[in-house]
Amino acid sequence: MRHYTFPLLGREFPVSTPERPEDLAHFIAWLSRQTQPVAVDSETHGLDILSGDPEYVRMVQFGSQEEAWNIPTELGMSFKEAARTALWMLIDGVGITGHNWAAFDAPALHVHLGIPYDDLCKNAVDTMLCSKLVDPRAVQEGGIGSSLKPLSDHYIDPTAADTQGDLTAVFRSLGLTKAVGFSRIDLWHPIYQSYGGGDVLLTARLRPKLENKLRLLGVPQRLVDYEHEVARICGHMQIRGLLLDQDYTRRLADELGEEEATQTAIVRTYGVEKLGSPAQIAEALIGMGESLTERTAGGAVKADKSVLSALADMDLYGNRLHVRTPNPLAVAVIKAKRAGKWKSAYADNFLTSLDRNGRIHPGIRTMQARTGRMSVTNPAVQTLPSGDWKIRRCFLAEPGERIISVDFQAVELRVLAALAGVKRMKEAISLGRDLHSFTAELVFGPDFTPKHRKISKAIGFGVVYGGGAATIQRQTGAPMEEVKRAVAAYHRTYPEVRRAANRWQREAFSNGMVTTSVTGRRLPLDRDRTYAVTNYQVQSAARDCLGQALINMEEAGLLPYLRLPVHDEVIASAPAREADDIGRAIGKCMTFDLFGVPIESDPEVGGRSWGSLYLPDDQRAAHDEWYANAGLAT
DNA sequence: GATGTCACG
DNA sequence: ACGTACGTGACATCA
C-alpha cells in the first residue's frame, strides 16, 4: 500500500493506493463501511475513451468526503476485479457521485470493466449536470462554471489545488505535452496520485452542496432526474457512435485538398499569402479598386463571405446575381476557403476521430448552452453543411439499414405560441396553416406576395431572437418603412408576445436576473441584454421538448436505433424493411400537446447515407448505395 | 488568448 | 425614451 495526502480546507486528507493484490481487501473493507454516496473518477490515457481500447483506463478512484482510494487497474486483473466489485457494490448500495459521469467516466468504465452503461448510471448523480441546473453559464459568461476547479473554489475551498491545471504543469516539467502527459506520466508520480484522490474528495463534497443549493433555489427534483435520463440516453448514442464511409471520406478529403490548392494558387497571384487573413484579402481587393466599407466589431475592414459574395456577383448560396462583373480574387477566395474548411473541419477531422471499428464517437454535451441546449464536439456533427450533400454523405446507416431523420415542425414558433398564449398563432397552428403566410396575410392583407411572406418570416424569427427593425431590414433587404410597418402590425396581431416578454423580464428583475423556464430551468440574463429573455424561454423550452421526446423514444424501445440529436431533429438508423415504421414511431414520440398547442414532427427515410437526405430525388440513385441497389431512380 | 470567419439550428 | 438578432464548435491568423 502506498499513502499520499491531498491538501484541502487547511487539512491533509488521506489517499491510499493499493500496490499489491493483497492490499485490495483493505479497500473493499473501507468501501463496505460507507453509508453515503461514494464519488468515482477515472484517470485515462487521454480523452478518446471510446477509441475501442479496453485498456484506455489507468486508474479508478473512489472517495468519501474524508478519504480517497486509488485503484490502479493498469496493474492487472485483480485490480480491475476489485474496481468492478466496488462499482457493483455502489450500484446496489449507497450510490455513485461522478463529475461528468454520464458522458465520460461511465462510458470509459463500461468499456474498461464491461459493466453495462445503464447499471453504471442507474444509481448515480452527475455533479456536472447539477451544477448546470444551478447556473448554466461558463466562467467567461459571468457564471460559476462547471469544471471541478471553479466549482470547488465556489462551494468548498478557494485555495483547493487546480488538479487538472497543476497536473498539466507537471507534464511540462517532465517534458510531456498535455496530449501525452496523462498516458506517459509514471503511475506512482506523487502529484498524479494525490490529485487523482483529490478529484473524488472534491466531487464527494460537491454533491451535498449542489443538492442543497438546488433545493434552496426551488429547482424541481423532476428536472434533475429528467436531465440524468437525457444524459444517459445521449450517452448510449455517444458509445454507439456513427459509422463512417472511410473510402468515400478519403476520396473527398483528397478532392477538397486539390480544389483548395488550385484556388489558393489563384489567390496567391493577387499577392495574398495567407488565406485566413482578412486583412490581406481586404488590402488586395482595395488595391484592385474595390471599395470595402463594412467594418467588424473590432474596427477592422470586413472581408467575410457576405462581402466577398457581393464582389463575386453571387448570393450566399453561390448563385450568380448578374449585377456586376465578378471579381476573380473574391471568387477564388470563396472557393479556396470553402474547400479548406470542408477538408480540415469535416473530412480530415472525421478520419482522425476514427475508432478501431471505423466509427466516430462525437461527444454529446447534453446541457452545454446557457439555455440548456445540447452541443456536439469532436467532431461537431451538428454543424455539417446542409446546402450540399457531400459532407453528410460520409456517414452511413448500419449495413443493411437506412438513415432516418425526424424533425419537429417549426418547434420554436409553436413553443412561443404555447408559452406566451398567443391566441391567433394558436388558431393558425390548429388550422394547419403555414404560420409565416398566416402572418403575412394578417399584416399585408389577402393579396400578400412571396416578398411579404419573407418579411413576415424574418419578423417571426427576429422577434424570438430579440432583433429590431434594423436587423430585419438588413436580413430581408426590404424598405425600412415597410419593415417598420410590418413589425408594428405583428405586435398588434400577436400582442401576447410582447406582454409575455415584459412579464418574463419583470420576473427576472425580482429574481436576481434569472428567468425560470417552463420546466423549472434557471436561465440567468445579462443585465445589458434583457431583451434576450424571449429567446431564452423559447430555446430552452424547445430543448426540453427534444429531451422529453428522447425519453419517450427510450420508453418505446427505440433507443437502439437512435444516433444523434440535432436541436429539433433526431437522426436514426434502422433495417431497410422496418425503416418506415421506425421513422413513424420516432415521429410519434415527437408528437405531443404543449398548453393546447400541437407539437408535431415530420419523419423522413433516406437511403444508406446521411447525405442521401440532402440530394435531389433524381440524383439519389447515382450517389447513394441503397437507392442504387434498390433500382430506384426516384 | 483575442479576433475573424464560417458551419449549424 | 430608445433599441438591442439567440445559441453553439472549429480553424487560421496575429499579437
Strand order of the β-sheet with A359-360 is A359-360, A242-244, A395-396
CA of A300 to C1' of B1 (A): 18
- Quickly give A509 CA vs C12 C1' distance in Å: 41
Instruction: Calculate the angstrom distance between C1' of B3 and CA of A592.
Output: 44
Strand C within 7 A of A501 CB: no
Whether any strand C atom is under 7 angstroms from the Cβ of A376: the reply reads yes
Q: Which residues of A148-168 are buried (b: 16+ CB within 10 A; e: fewer)?
A: bbbbbbbbbbeebbbbeeebb
Strand partners, A63: A39, A68
DSSP string spanning A450-461? Answer: HHHHHHHHHHHH
C-alpha triplet A458, A460, A463: angle, nearest 5°: 100
The mean pLDDT value for A304-322 works out to 89
Instruction: Please give the protein residue whose CA is closest to the C1' of the nucleotide C11.
Output: A345
Residues of chain A with pLDDT > 90: what percent? Answer: 85
According to the 3-state scheme, what is the secondary structure of A381-449?
A: HHHCCCCCCCCHHHEECCCCEEEEEEEECCHHHHHHHHHHCCHHHHHHHHCCCCHHHHHHHHHHCCCCC
CB A150, CB A1: distance < 8 Å: no
The predicted structure's pLDDT at residue A633: 45
Q: Residue A325 — pLDDT band, cuts 50, 70, 90?
A: very high
CA at A58, C1' at C4: how many angstroms apart?
51
- What pLDDT shows up at residue A300? 86
State the cell numbers at A102: 454520464
* Nucleic chain B contacts, Cβ below 7 Å: A 276, 278, 296-300, 302-306, 308, 334, 337-338, 341-342, 380, 382-387, 539, 566-569
Segment (H or E) for A405: strand A401-408
A380 touches strand C (CB under 7 A): yes
A257 touches strand C (CB under 7 A): no
Nucleotide nearest to A373 (CA to C1'): C7
Per-residue cell: A445: 392583407
**Rounded distance in angstroms from the CA atom of residue A33 to the C1' atom of nucleotide C7:** 46
Tell me the pLDDT tens digit for each residue of A460-513. Answer: 988 888 888 999 988 888 899 889 989 999 999 999 999 999 999 999 999 999
Please state which CATH number belongs to domain A246-352.
1.20.1060.10
Residues 6+ apart with CB under 8 A from A142: A524, A526
Query: Are the beta carbons of A88 and A115 closer than 8 angstroms?
Result: yes
Query: How far is Cα A181 from Cα A195, in angstroms, rounded to an integer?
Result: 14
Please report the pLDDT score of residue A317 as a whole number: 83
Q: Shortest CA–C1' contact from A277: which nucleotide?
A: C13
* Euclidean distance between CA atoms A633 and A316, whole angstroms: 30
Please name the nucleotide lying closest to A531, CA to C1'. Answer: C4
Rounded Cα distance between A449 and A462, Å, is: 20
The answer on pLDDT for A557 being more than 80 is: yes
Domain A359-409+542-629 architecture: 2-Layer Sandwich (3.30)
CB-based burial of residue A252 (10 Å sphere; 0-12 exposed, 13-18 middle, 19+ buried)? buried
Task: Please give the mean pLDDT across all residues of chain A.
Answer: 95
Mean pLDDT on A256-282 = 93
Rounded CA-CA distance A272/A472 in Å is: 35
Which bases of chain C are contacted by protein, using any atom under 7 A from a CB?
A: 3-14
Protein residue minimizing CA–C1' distance to C12: A276
Q: pLDDT tens digits, residue range A30-45?
A: 999 999 999 999 999 9
CA of A502 to C1' of C6 (A): 17
Which of A465, A438, A463 has its CA nearest to residue A453?
A438
Give the separation between CA A238 and CA A242, rounded to whole angstroms.
8
Residue A632, pLDDT > 80, answer no
Determine the nucleotide nearest to A382 by Cα–C1' distance.
B8
Res A401: pLDDT:
98
Are A553 and A565 within 8 A, CB to CB? no
**Residue A465 confidence (pLDDT):** 86
Distance CA A305 to C1' B5 in A: 8
CB A271 within 8 A of CB A420: no
- Using 50, 70 and 90 to split pLDDT, how confident is the model at A294? confident
Chain A window 332-371, residues with Cβ within 7 A of nucleic strand C? 340-341, 344-345, 349, 365, 368-371
Name A520's Cβ contacts closer than 8 Å, sequence gap at least 6. A218, A219, A220, A222, A223
Is residue A631 very low, low, confident or very high in pLDDT (cuts 50, 70, 90)? low
Confidence of residue A443 (pLDDT cuts 50, 70, 90): confident
Using the structure, give the distance in angstroms from the CA atom of A168 to the C1' atom of B1, rounded to a whole number. 18
Record the cell numbers describing residue A255, joined without a space.
478532392
Query: Residue type at A183?
Result: S
**Residue A550 has what pLDDT?**
98
Exposed/middle/buried for residue A445 (C-beta within 10 Å: 0-12, 13-18, 19+): exposed
What's the CA A501/C1' C1 distance, rounded, in angstroms?
Answer: 19
Rounded to whole angstroms, the Cα distance separating A316 from A458 reads 17
Residue-wise pLDDT tens digits, A128-187: 999 999 999 999 999 999 999 999 999 999 999 988 888 988 998 898 888 899 999 999
> Sign (positive/negative) of CA torsion A531, A532, A537, A539?
positive
Q: Are A215 and A357 in contact (CB under 8 A)?
A: no
- Tens digit of each residue's pLDDT (9 = 90 or more) over A349-384: 999 999 999 999 999 999 999 999 999 999 999 999
C-alpha cell at A247: 473510402
Write down the CATH superfamily of domain A413-540. 5' to 3' exonuclease, C-terminal subdomain (1.10.150.20)
Cα distances (angstroms) measured from residue A268 to each of A243, A312, A333, A342: 38, 17, 10, 20
Q: State pTM to two decimals.
A: 0.96
Q: Which nucleotide is nearest to A378 (CA to C1')?
A: C9
Fold type of domain A2-240: Nucleotidyltransferase; domain 5 (3.30.420)
Is residue A519 within 8 Å of A223, Cβ to Cβ?
yes
- Which residues 19-78 in chain A have a CB closer than 7 A to strand C? none
Residue recorded with cell 424571449 = A534
The residue whose CA lies nearest the C1' of nucleotide C10 is A345
Q: How far apart are CA A225 and CA A520, in angstroms?
A: 12
Cell of A407: 424533425
Distance A477 CA to C3 C1' (A): 20
Bases of strand B lying below 7 A from some protein CB: 3-9
Q: What percent of chain A has pLDDT over 70?
A: 99
List the domain boundaries for chain A: 2-240, 246-352, 359-409+542-629, 413-540
What pLDDT score was predicted for residue A168? 87
**Which nucleotide has the shortest C1'-to-CA distance from A569?**
B9
Report helix angle A24-32 to A77-91, nearest 10: 0
Q: Give the bridge partners for A39, in sequence order.
A: A63, A97
Nucleotide with C1' nearest the A391 CA: B7
- Closest nt to A302 (CA→C1')? B4
Closest protein CA to C1' of nucleotide B7, residue: A383
Query: Nearest CA to the C1' of C7 belongs to which residue?
Result: A369
Q: Residue A530 above 90 pLDDT? A: yes
Q: Which residue is nearest to nucleotide C14 (CA to C1')?
A: A277
> Has residue A328 got a pLDDT over 90?
yes
